[in-house]
Chains A and B, each alone.
Chain A
């Protein structure tokens, strides 16, 4: 029985238990003593009593099961494998895991072939939907068999234990229903815990992100030294089979350069356009123009990035190439310029709407002081409003920069795929996000450095953008406090 089925069962149990509890409380209500809480609270109470313990069991089981089973399987590995470095052990475990997942789909005959170490088993398994990075070795089949059966037992046990928990919870709850019971208070306390838990999801997400990229990155760095990654100037992750010689070179510098170069071009477009739009809208535009222009700029922010990417790919890139050709410049259709300009347009609204807020927040008194001295409007904006708004605007620009750095689809479609350390904006470069996508799409074997490097790139990207965001949010918040 899968976890999904168990949870589905709980979803069905909930209203049933609620109905029972409500009816029970209703019956009690007709007695002499008045109910403390309305029957519906007793119903919810009983329902919660029935499902919460079971849910707890399911969740704990779901987390613990793979850990335990994997550990015990690791113990069964022959000594030859255990002598290998950790990274290669993981490769072996990956094969076993995939094998175990599909174990029940295999016939005895096929298993026997694998045990005998026959040729072509990898292809045979692929036909059954079991994709292995390398041919299964006989010892793996045994481990996989144990693993598969352990999983079966574990699932059965999980179902049994959670059923017991549910029934137990239900009966305890049932016995406790009484007129004097403060069902509402209990239910409300549980609701509060639920609310708290919901707000914890944000933290859990961040934790999940950090853990997932960190673990896989550490895994990657056990194969490729950190220094080679951080200071290498060559990006050449040869797609060789795992475990073989020549893992390729994973220097991040060309990718980092590409990312920063494109983002820089994007900011060259977005900052002046966004800032001047914001200034014009907040200081000059009539309210009618404002009512029209603001939503239009927001449309720019609402267009999915894939659409920008498509535009860059089919319209803007070829247009630049042809114009370049007409004036004797060689611009490739995928270039820093193409991706940068289109990305710049995409982040205009991020600059403009935040800047608009910030400029509007500059107190009117400040402007009047300047007008009162006979300054023109632009003098007031340039010399009084802008300096006052500067910290906030810096924050807005940093946020926009972090968007640019993390943007994926535009660069995937318009920047190019070859790592290129160049200063020429007319040439293609590639970025970290492009490489994350290209290393992780298609059939992947999860344990090779070629795949894992994506997580190291993700970690770099995360740290980079997180740093920018924290600084940006901090400056913006400080700025807001100043004028509150």
Chain B
């Protein structure tokens, strides 16, 4: 009938069906591209997590010897002075070694045997015993059971990272040490135990005594600084822009600024911190306060954007209601709008904190890459941060740090997971539909 109207080329039935088949094939292909793209992303994510977890789970256990150590007074404090300085200076390594010799039955006259036995113990046993004795001087003279840290190589042997098949000459632990270790394992003395050290030690050149405490405390200080500064400033800026700002060029400038700051590379913030906070204002390098300040500036756009969204979501009728009963605009906002926007603001804040906690590059600029042994007690003390610690361990040469690096990553991801879960919970719990 209507063939007459439009001069179209008529396809034969065969042509038509062939064409339709082709079109549907193209349709299917297009769909597969989408599925392939999503699968690629998921696959990569799974591989990423799998690689981190498989490398890192072993960092949560650490080999140690459960041995009774005789805290000999003649070695620690021969004159019975009770002076902490004397106690501090004592040779604890000797005590630990002696305990091990006895347990292993080492021939005390044979130097090679003694040397091999010494090699089983971590250098950190010194600190381990000292701290225990300083903490409770009444232990002196008693025989106390300790979990003495094994040397990193022994730990690697137990975790299978050092293969027994390697010829002795190329192996970090010799045959005698392997035999001892095996015996100790059999007797239940040498065991992989939960690695509390990972959370209680600071920096160390020995993997077995390197821990995250300094980094965790440093990151904590930085988060505190960010919360104390970024939240009030961010919320205030959001309130101003949403509720008070007149539509003019100044406001436009601020908005453009905020959007652009959100996309400025983080490392540039590091340069800012270095030039302004450290060079100009003379704040100390490596201090978590400076790190916190830099992260504050970085997170601010995120928080402002989230807070603005939360404030706009509060319907105007609420403001009008408050104004209608004679509240000032400021009162309407502080009494009604902000409390209603609070869940949204908190969610945005947590997302900003997550971002800040995982940030590394700017912290490298302001010297938070330091070898810090002592736990910082104020934000002005030298510290590191969790991601920076990962970076430092990842780039150190000793193999023992590989598992620590991945372990630290698991800890970092754990913190981020908890924070994200909190954000999701807040959103679900207080979600309000107007």
Contacts of A433 in B (CB 8 A): 265, 267, 361
Most central of A194, A195, A215, A299 by chain B CB within 10 Å: A195
A212 and B265 form a contact (CB under 8 A): no
Interface string of A126-149 (1 = CB under 8 A from B): 000000000000000000000000
B34 and A198 form a contact (CB under 8 A): no
Q: How many residues of B contact A (CB 8 A)?
A: 88
Cα of A148 to Cα of B413 in the assembled complex, Å: 46
Cα of A296 to Cα of B46 in the assembled complex, Å: 10
A381 and B30 form a contact (CB under 8 A): yes
B268 and A314 form a contact (CB under 8 A): no
Contacts of B52 in A (CB 8 A): 307, 310-311
Interface residue? B48 (CB, 8 A):
yes
Chain B: minimal CB distance from A102 (Å): 12
Contacts of A436 in B (CB 8 A): 267, 270-271, 365
B30 and A378 form a contact (CB under 8 A): yes
Query: Which segment of B66-74, B87-95, B153-161, B254-262 sits at the interface?
Result: B254-262
Chain B: minimal CB distance from A27 (Å): 24
Q: A198-B240, A279-B34 are in contact. Are A212 and B271 (CB under 8 A)?
A: yes
Contacts of A306 in B (CB 8 A): 358, 360, 387, 390-391, 409, 412
B244 and A195 form a contact (CB under 8 A): yes
Cα of A87 to Cα of B24 in the assembled complex, Å: 70
Q: Restricting to A159-180, which residues have a CB under 8 Å from any CB of B? A: none
Chain A: minimal CB distance from B230 (Å): 10
Interface residue? A408 (CB, 8 A):
yes
A277 and B34 form a contact (CB under 8 A): yes
Chain B: minimal CB distance from A416 (Å): 13
Interface residue? B26 (CB, 8 A):
yes
Chain A: minimal CB distance from B68 (Å): 39
Q: Restricting to A48-74, which residues have a CB under 8 Å from any CB of B? A: 62, 66
Interface string of B271-282 (1 = CB under 8 A from A): 110111001111
Chain A: minimal CB distance from B52 (Å): 7
Chain A: minimal CB distance from B176 (Å): 32
Interface residue? B116 (CB, 8 A):
no
A307 and B41 form a contact (CB under 8 A): no
Interface residue? B55 (CB, 8 A):
yes
A437 and B365 form a contact (CB under 8 A): yes
Interface residue? B18 (CB, 8 A):
no
Which of A308, A352, A406, A472 is within 8 Å of B267, CB to CB? A406
Contacts of A462 in B (CB 8 A): 264-265, 268
Q: Which residues of A are at the interface with B, using a C-beta cutoff of 8 A?
A: 4, 62, 66, 101, 184, 188, 191-192, 194-203, 205-206, 208-209, 212-213, 215-216, 272-277, 279-281, 284, 293, 296-297, 299-300, 302-311, 313-315, 345, 348, 352, 376-379, 381-382, 399, 402-403, 405-409, 412-413, 433, 436-437, 440-441, 446, 454-455, 458, 461-462, 465-466, 469-470, 472-473
16 sample A-B contacts, Cβ–Cβ < 8 Å, listed by A number: A202-B254, A203-B254, A212-B276, A284-B34, A304-B359, A304-B387, A305-B360, A306-B360, A308-B48, A377-B30, A402-B263, A412-B391, A413-B391, A413-B395, A441-B365, A441-B369
A-B residue pairs, 4 tightest by C-beta: A406-B265, A280-B34, A304-B358, A212-B275
